[in-house]
Structure formats: structure tokens, C-alpha cells
Amino acid sequence: MKKRFSLGLILLLFFLLTACSSNEEAEKNPSATEPEKKEEVFKIGAIPDQNAADMNRSLSKLADFLSEKTDLKVEYVPSVDYAALVTAFERGEMHLAWFGGLTGVQARNIVPDAEAIAQRPMDEEFHSVFIADTNTNISSLDDLKGQSFTFGSESSTSGHLMPRYFLEEAGINPEEDFDGQPNYSGSHDKTYKLVESGSMKAGVLNISVWEAAVAEKKVDTSKVDVFYTTPSYFDYHWTINNRIDEKFGEGIKQKIAEALLSINSTDQAEIMELFQSDKFIPTKNENYKEIEQVAKEVGIIK
């Protein structure tokens, strides 16, 4: 009985001494008891208009490059569709986004302090290409009447907005003049595949994706080819949320812009392969006023 009592007393003294020691350590080093602060992540995204695997590879490389240049923890976050990227940007869940002309306008309309900061040289004079099944006799926009037709994403500048505008300028109503309602493929690579397979007789997509597909032999030009190239317009660009300085520190926007403008196809070939360009150049919100006006004319923006 005495032995059992003595053992219990010894254990009680041990626990009391341990507790006192822990309290003394906490008093000497208060931070030891505080939860570790979670590192803020700077998130970048892009409209999903190309092959997802290619985008993941190149944009993850870009995230690593921006991390190195800015000392931020940068992460690429894929979006399921164009609208999801705009929504994430609006909520502050996306800090830097690669938008098309239309989605960039939409994002800046709901986040007024957002700013377009960089684009490719080709985006100053961008084009869409209309393609057709080579077994058809389609050689002009007027020949599209009575044919099945696919746009890209409904929110795409080069795959829908500007092609719709040029179709209407040519006197073609997409809801009335095609064989049934126009299809929306969701991305440029799916558009040329639909026409190549014969599922659609014609379609439209952005010129850089088409030219890359031809160069890389991803598309059979004996089955599908270009019959019309649109006039030029401003398109893709990087837009940044100006509120990031509050979250990541003063001057972060400038650091991100400088990092993007320092990229070149020689040193960052894996990044620029996706963009089919050798560099980025500065841009500004005013460059996309025409896109906004066209979107209002066709009823996409109120």
C-alpha cells in the first residue's frame, strides 16, 4: 500500500515539474506558443483556351520564375472555364490573370482598380481565323450560310466576340443563318478538332493557336484549313489586381510587371512556348475600349 502511494506521489511531482518547466519556457519565448503564420500565396491564372496539360506545364514554370524574381510564394491555379477565372479575380482569389480582351474587360468592370500591365507584341494586332472542312465549297463568310458552325468559348474574344462581330458586319446572323444554332467548343484546340473530324463544317479560333497547331502537325490541313482571316484587334493580356500591395507589400505590382517584361524566349523558352511569342510588352486599360464597345453592341456586356 505504501509503495503504491509513493509511486503515485512521484508521478504527481514529475507532472508538476514538467508543467512548470513548460510555463517557464513559454515565458522566455512567447512565440513558441503562438501558431505559425501561414505564408500568403500569390495566385496566377489563365483562361483555359488551350490544352490543359500544356497550360499546367508552362504556367507552373512561370509561377516558379515569378517566385524567384519577387521572393513571393507564387502558384498557378487552373480554372474550369473563362467565367470561373473572372469570378476568382473578382473575389480576390486570383491576383494576376492572363485574360482575353473580353474577359479582361469583364474583370476590370467588376474590379475597377485592376490594371492591364502586359501583353505580347501580336496582341496589338491580333486576328481570328475562320476554318472549314476542305470537302466543302466554303471560301467566304457568305458561304457559311446553311453550314454547321462552331465558335470557341462564349467568353472568348478571338473565338466568339470578334468573329461574331465580323459575321454580323458581313450580314450573317449566327442564330438564323447556320445549319442549326452555333456550337461552342469551349477552347480553340477543340474547335479545329471538331472541324477536322467532320463534326462541324466550319469554325473560328485564334490565329496563334492555329499556327502553332499547323507547325506542330497537330492538325491535318488536308482535312481542314483557313479560308478567312479577320481584321486586327487588341486581345490577350495580363491583368493585375491593384489591391495586392495591401496583401503582399508596397511595390509588388511593379515587381510583377518588371518580372513579366523581363521574360524572353531565349532564357525562358518553356514558358513562352505556350504564348507563341518571344516576349511581353507593356499595355494599358485604354487599349481594350474597342473590345468593350463591340461587346456592348452584340449584347455580351450591358
Per-residue b/e over 26-36, b at no fewer than 16 CB within 10 Å?
Answer: eeeeeeeeeee
Model pLDDT, residue 1: 47
Q: pLDDT higher for 34 or 245?
A: 245
- Among residues 229, 254, 269, the one where a domain terminates is 229
Residue 74 backbone phi and psi in degrees, to 5: -110, 140
> Taking all residues of the chain, what is their mean pLDDT, rounded to a whole number?
90
Write the DSSP string, 77-99: ---SSHHHHHHHHHTTS-SEEEE
Model pLDDT, residue 29: 53
Give the containing element (helix H, strand E) for 261.
helix 252-262
Residues 178 and 256 in one domain: no
Cell readout for 203 is: 469554325
Residues 109 and 186 in one domain: no
Cell readout for 250 is: 508596397
In a domain, 8, yes or no: no
CA distance 198 to 193: 9
Model pLDDT, residue 243: 81
Q: CATH no. for residue 155?
A: 3.40.190.10
Q: How confident is the model at residue 153 (pLDDT cuts 50, 70, 90)?
A: very high
Count of the separate structural domains present in the chain? 2
Residues 219 and 253 in one domain: no
Mean pLDDT value across residues 276-293? 96
CA distance 243 to 272: 27
Rounded to the nearest 10 degrees, what angle do helices 162-169 and 289-297 cross at?
60
State the pTM of this model.
Answer: 0.81
Residues 176 and 242 in one domain: no
Is residue 152 within 8 A of residue 185, CB to CB? The reply is yes
Residues 285 and 139 in one domain: no
Residues 133 and 56 in one domain: no
Domain that holds residue 131: 127-229
Q: How confident is the model at residue 112 (pLDDT cuts 50, 70, 90)?
A: confident
- Among residues 229, 244, 273, the one where a domain terminates is 229
Altogether, the residues listed in the chain come to a count of 302
In a domain, 133, yes or no: yes
Residues 114 and 53 in one domain: yes
Angle CA 295–299–302, to nearest 5:
85
